[in-house]
Amino acid sequence: MTETARQHSKTALDQVKQYHEQTKHEFNRYARSLGYLDWANQPNPFRRFDGAPLIPLPRLTLDEDPFSPAYESLFHPHSTPSQPITLKTLSRFFEYALSLTAWKEYNGTRWALRSNPSSGNLHPTEGYVFVRSLAQLALEPGLYHYAPKEHALEHRWVLPPQTAQSVLQGIPSEGFLVGLTSIHWREAWKYGERAFRYCQHDTGHAIGTLRVAAATLGWNLLVLSGTTDETIATLLGLTRQQDFQQAEREYPELLAAVWPGNLHPPPTLNLAFQNPEDTVLSAGEWKGTANRLSKEEPVPWEIIDKVTDASWKSTQENEDIVFHAPTTPTSNHEKIGPDPLAGQIIHQRRSAVAFDGRTSLSADRFFTMLQRIMPRGDLPLPDRPMPWDAIPWDPAIHLALFVHRIDGLTPGLYWLNRSPERHHLSLFRSAMHEQFVWSTPEGCPANLPLYLLEAGNAQNLARQLSCGQDIAGDSAFSLGMVAEFDESLGRYGPWFYKRLFWETGLIGQVFYLEAESAGIRSTGIGCFFDDPVHRVLGFHPQPRWQSLYHFTVGGPLDDGRLTTLPPYGPHVT
C-alpha cells in the first residue's frame, strides 16, 4: 500500500468509527433522526424498473416439485438432493429468500411481510440474479432484478449467451450469481442517521435467507467477499445514472455464487469476482428505468453518505476456496423425519411483537440453538455447517446472553465465545468485570463455549438496555451480539464494518428459524443503548468491542386485531 493509500484508509477508518460513535443511542440521547414520521413521503417498498420485461416465476405449493425438504435436514450435509437449475427451482430459491409471505391488514391499512425480516419492515434490500444460458433454464442470459410483489424477474441486462458465459467463467459450471443492494433512503426515512446500520443488518438476514433457500435445493452459496464494490455496482447496473435519474440510489452490498451441490470434479472458487471488461459491459442491452420511491427528494443525511464512502470496498483480495469431493456419496440421502418442512418454517417466520413472560425453553433446545449459530471457524470453509459456509471471513461476533427462562439453567448473564481461538476468551475475561464467575453451566455440551458470568434476574436489565422494549425482558432469553470491533477493522480495513453487521444479521436469521422450529418466536432488536451495554459487561470507556445487534427469543403473544391475507392473489394490486 502506498503512503497516500494508507493515509486515505486511515481517514476512512476514522470516519467509520466516527459514524459508529455518532449513531449510538444513549440513555439521554437517541441517534439523530427527523423525530417524526413524514407519512406523505414514505418510500415505496417495491422497486420496479419500468420498461424492463417482466418474467413471472411459477408459484409453487410446498408439496410439489421441488419438494421442500425437512427443516432439520438442512443441517445435515448431503442429505438434500441437488436440484437442477430450472425456472421452477429458481422460483423456489427466490420464494424462500426474498418473496412475500403474507399481507397483514389493520384499520384499512395493509402491509406485506417477506421471507427476509427487516428493521421497521422497510425493506431496503433489493435482490438480483445473473444467469448464463443453461439447457434446463427457460431464461435468456443476463441480469435480472427480483420483484417480490409480483414474484417475478425483471430483465435488466439482455446479453448474448457467450458474453454472459464469459462474465461467469470463474463461477462453477451451472452456477449463477445473486446480488444484493441497499436503498439507504428506505431506512433513513424513519431512522435517520442510524439507518446505515439497519441496512447492513438486513443484508445479513438476507444472506441467511439466500443460504437457507439454496440449501433446500441442495445448492451451495458463497459470498464473494474479495470483490470490489465498484465491480458489484457495475455488474448490477447501479452506476447507470441514465436508469436512475429521478430514482433513489441503490448501493452495492455483495455478490454471491450459487451452484448445485453435486458438482464433480469439485470446483475451486476465487473470492474476488472481477469487473467484466469494458467490451463485455458495452455488450447487450440495458432495459428499464428505476421507479421513484418517495414523492419528495430524500432527506439528506450527510453522515450516511460519508460512511458509505468510507466503508466502500475498493480493494480486491484473491483467495481460492478449494472444495473437496463429498465424503458421503450424495445419492445416500439421509432420511430425516418429514416435519416440519423447511418451507413451512420459512413461510411462518414472523417477528414476535410481544412475549408472554411465561414460556420457557428446555436447556437441550437452548443448547441446540446455540450450536446452530457456532460458525466452526476452525474448519476449512466448505466443511463449516450451513449457513456458516456462506461467509468466508473469520467469525468476529460473540454473544452476551440474558437468560430469563431456560429450564434447568440459572437465570443470569452468560457469554458465548464464537471464536475457535481460546486466547480470545482470555482477552475477554481480562476486559470484563472481575467479579464474573466464568463457570460452565451444568449439562452444557463440551463443544459449546458457554459461560455463566453472573447469576440473577436480568429481565429489567435486558429491557432497559434494549430501549426499554418489553420484548427483551418477557422472552425466554435475549442477547447482545458483541463484535471484535477495533481488531477486525484494523486487520481488514474500514470496509469490514459492513461485514460485522452482516454476520450479526446471519446469526439473527438462524435464531428466527430455530425459534419457529421450537414452536416459539423471536425478534431482532436494532434499538438498544450501545455504551450502557458495554458498561454492564465491564468494557472500558472506549471499548475495543462493540455490541452491534440485540435479539430476543420466547413465547409470543399474537396481536388478534390483525387480519392475515395470502402473499399472492387477486387481493394484491
Ligand X SMILES: Cc1cc2nc3c(=O)[nH]c(=O)nc-3n(C[C@H](O)[C@H](O)[C@H](O)COP(=O)(O)O)c2cc1C
Can you give the binding site for ligand X, defined by CB under 6 A?
113, 117-121, 198, 201-202, 205, 350-351, 469, 471, 523-527
Question: Quick one: 421 or 559, whose CB is closer to ligand X?
Answer: 559
Question: Quick one: 316 or 351, whose CB is closer to ligand X?
Answer: 351
> Residue 505 CB, nearest distance to ligand X (Å)?
7
> Residue 501 CB, nearest distance to ligand X (Å)?
9
CB contact at 8 A, 58 and 88? yes
Secondary structure, 3-state, 528-549: CEHHHHHHHHCCCCCCCEEEEE
DSSP H/E element including 430: helix 422-431
> Residue 516 CB, nearest distance to ligand X (Å)?
11
Phi and psi dihedrals of 521, rounded to 5? -155, 165
Q: How far is Cα 450 from Cα 401, in angstroms, rounded to an integer?
A: 10
Q: How far is Cα 549 from Cα 42, in angstroms, rounded to an integer?
A: 25
Spell out the residues 6+ positions from residue 60 whose beta carbon is closer than 8 angstroms to its own. 66, 88, 91, 92, 95
Question: Quick one: 118 or 360, whose CB is closer to ligand X?
Answer: 118
What is the residue-wise DSSP string for 248-273? PP-EEEEEEEEEETT-SSPPEEES-P
| Partners of residue 147 on adjacent β-strands | 152
Q: How far is Cα of residue 201 from the mean position of the Cα atoms in its chain?
A: 6
Question: Quick one: 276 or 556, whose CB is closer to ligand X?
Answer: 556
Cβ count near 8 (within 10 Å): 15
Q: How far is Cα 131 from Cα 309, in angstroms, rounded to an integer?
A: 29
> Residue 124 CB, nearest distance to ligand X (Å)?
10
Question: Quick one: 220 or 469, whose CB is closer to ligand X?
Answer: 469
> Residue 289 CB, nearest distance to ligand X (Å)?
29
> Residue 525 CB, nearest distance to ligand X (Å)?
4
Cβ count near 284 (within 10 Å): 17
> Residue 515 CB, nearest distance to ligand X (Å)?
11
Question: Quick one: 85 or 482, whose CB is closer to ligand X?
Answer: 482
Question: Quick one: 120 or 538, whose CB is closer to ligand X?
Answer: 120
Question: Quick one: 494 or 526, whose CB is closer to ligand X?
Answer: 526
CA end-to-end distance (rounded Å), the chain: 54
> Residue 357 CB, nearest distance to ligand X (Å)?
16
> Residue 465 CB, nearest distance to ligand X (Å)?
12
CB contact at 8 A, 152 and 57? yes
Q: How far is Cα of residue 513 from the mean position of the Cα atoms in its chain?
A: 13
Question: Quick one: 202 or 253, whose CB is closer to ligand X?
Answer: 202
